Amino acid sequence: MRDGGRLAAAIEVLTEIETRHFPVRMALKRWGEGARYAGSKDRAFVSGLALDALRRKRSLGWMMGDDSPRGVVLGVLAHDWKWSADRVAEAAGEDHGPGALTDAERERLAAPRSLADAPAPVAGDYADWLQPHLARALGADHGAEMAALAERAPVDLRINLLKTDVERGGKAVALIGAEPAGVLDTAFRIPAPGAADRTPSVEAVPAFSKGWFEVQDLGSQIAAATAGPIKGKQVLDFCAGGGGKTLALAAAMGNSGQIYAHDSDARRLADTIRRGQRAGVRNLQIRSPIEGEPLKGLEGKLDLVFVDAPCTGSGTWRRHPDAKWRLSPDQLAKRQIEQDAVLADASDFVKPGGRLIYVTCSLLAEENEDRVAAFVERHPGFSVKPIAVAGLEQHLTPEGYLRLTPHRAGTDGFFAAVIERGSYVP
């Protein structure tokens, strides 16, 4: 495909997202199914362009004076990808391109409107209703945080100590450009790709098939590390999902003790079995909801219950930029109800003196601090304990919670709190 066809394809994808409310992955898949002629580089180009347009939809629309899919795509090319006005014009005017530039478009490509004059939600690329929520959670520098959240994300890897060591694993992932990510010795990072580029194929590395490493955002790895020393313990991953944190916890346990993986949706657990086998996990039990009472017998017996709660996912908007435009106040309210319920349910399995770790990939205090406070108020036998894990001090709030953000930590947005159940009085 020539550039003009690629531009037209990205505009088509964005239009389908806007008019038919499809998630971006579905819209890209539908386009790909109808464009068999498109090669891998074409697909990477169209995908990258569409995702970048979604990341900065409002700010680019402001700069261009046109927030339509066409206006935003042209804005990405000129102001993010740094194409010259002549190159944009040439591509747009090609036979299969989106059409020749108008005089107004040429003017905005050369002299965009200043974001200094834009309202904060426009400059920061988020919905107006989120302004007070983000200001409350992120403080005075929430503008910088939202700018970081509109950038492309790196690919983070976790060396699996059940199969190899950091030195050998690090050499293996260096073949695909990964370098130490900091904070955790086992964390490595492949920088975010440039415009229209693809990240290296992680699964093509032989060490991946051997289980030497997993793809896992650094923030997710750090959140799992809040569990601290857990070798020989009885651990429940209450909302295991695809198993990323389950495997990180299992690696920290060194195949000692027992880790149980549970999720309310049995389909999410299917991948955990395969991933656990590849990773060499031998102390894992899958407790699927199709079993009827999958957690029966574990009440009050576990040293640690890890709750990666359902949330808005606002901390992952670098990777899922279309999600921020779908989020509504009603959805935020619904998530809070779900979070209260899952915390209450999970707490039944914590033994006296045991710990409950509450984690979200959300930036919003309504899903984080507020939910912890509400839980403790309703469950007087539990109390918040400041996280005390070496190496994480720089990422802790004054209350001892973990708070990770793209600007401050270079990770997805994550929150974690440790809640301890009191011992019974003899």
What are the tokens at 366?
């309504």
Alpha-carbon distance of 275 to 31, in angstroms, equals 30
**239 flagged as catalytic:** no
- CB neighbours (10 Å) of residue 166? 15
The stretch 382-387 carries a mean pLDDT of: 97
| Position 425 pLDDT exceeds 70 | no
Which residue, 235, 222, 233, is CA-closest to 185?
Answer: 222
Measured torsion, CA atoms of residues 23, 26, 27, 31, in degrees rounded to the nearest 10: 170
Q: Which residues contact 330 (CB under 8 A, 6 or more apart)?
A: none
* DSSP result, 124-147: HTS-GGGHHHHHHHHGGGHHHHHH
Q: Domain map of the chain by residue range?
A: 3-118, 155-215, 218-421
According to the model, what pLDDT value does residue 96 have? 92
Q: Which residues contact 119 (CB under 8 A, 6 or more apart)?
A: 128
One of 28, 162, 225, 361 is an active-site residue; which one?
Answer: 361
According to the model, what pLDDT value does residue 200 have? 84
What percentage of the chain has pLDDT greater than the value 90?
90
Which residue, 342, 331, 303, is CA-closest to 420?
Answer: 303
Which residue, 239, 236, 244, is CA-closest to 283?
Answer: 236
Which residue, 272, 261, 270, 166, is CA-closest to 212?
Answer: 166
Q: How far apart are the first and last CA of the chain?
A: 75
Q: Which run of H or of E encompasses 357?
A: strand 350-360
What are the pLDDT digits (tens) for 213-234?
999 999 999 999 999 999 999 9
Alpha-carbon distance of 93 to 278, in angstroms, equals 50
State the average pLDDT for the chain: 95
| Position 196 pLDDT exceeds 80 | no
3.40.50.620, 3.40.50.300, 1.10.645.10, 3.30.70.1170: CATH of 155-215 = 3.30.70.1170
According to the model, what pLDDT value does residue 141 have? 84
According to the model, what pLDDT value does residue 59 have? 97
**Residue whose token pair is 């996280």:** 387
C-beta of residue 417 within 8 angstroms of C-beta of residue 376:
no
* DSSP result, 283-309: SEEEE-GGGSSTTTT-TT-EEEEEEE-
Q: Any binding-site annotation on 308?
A: yes
Which residue, 161, 130, 160, is CA-closest to 317?
Answer: 130
Query: What dotted CATH number matches 218-421?
Result: 3.40.50.150
What are the pLDDT digits (tens) for 98-153?
999 999 999 999 999 999 999 999 999 999 999 999 999 999 889 999 999 999 99
| Position 424 pLDDT exceeds 70 | no
Q: Any binding-site annotation on 185?
A: no
Helix (H, G, I), strand (E, B) or coil at 270: helix
| Position 195 pLDDT exceeds 90 | no
What are the tokens at 121?
């939600």
| Position 426 pLDDT exceeds 90 | no
Higher pLDDT, 183 or 423: 183
